Amino acid sequence: MSEGTATIRTRKFMTNRLLARRQMVVDVLHPGKPSLPKTEIREKLAKLYKTTPDVVFVFGFRTAFGGGRSSGFALIYDSLDLAKKFEPKYRLARHGLFEKGKTTRKQRKERKNRVKKVRGTKKAKVGAAASKKKGK
């Protein structure tokens, strides 16, 4: 449970079968030290719940006034595929599991204006054509 001087405790544990995960509030006690990195918390939780760190998602940590105690939230998915299915893209990006396509501001504006010139179902066709051009 405790390595060095940092202790991790979980509370409000819940098994969420619909989203194929275990979710809990995580309390980290780290007296006299700054807050722990999330990667370290992930590794300790993975060891605690006998799983791999890649399916553990920790977020929302706040340090209590005066320090020494942080509290946040953790989700442990049953598999990496289920994590990719249910986890929001921004949290997947933090783990390096999702890469957002980069389009320039100018490309987005040009596409928007092309779509404005047509009506109805043709809008989708014009938008798709614009994204094909962008790929070249």
The predicted-structure confidence for 78-118, as pLDDT tens digits, reads as follows 999 999 999 999 999 999 988 888 889 999 999 999 999 98
pLDDT at residue 127 greater than cutoff 90: no
- The CA–CA distances, whole Å, from 130 to 1, 35, 47, 72, 127 equal 54, 47, 48, 43, 5
pLDDT of residue 120: 87
Give the span between the Cα atoms of 46 and 62, in whole angstroms. Answer: 21
Band of pLDDT at residue 75, cut at 50, 70 and 90: very high
pLDDT of residue 2: 46
Greatest CA separation for the chain? 65
* Mean pLDDT for the stretch of residues 6-32: 95
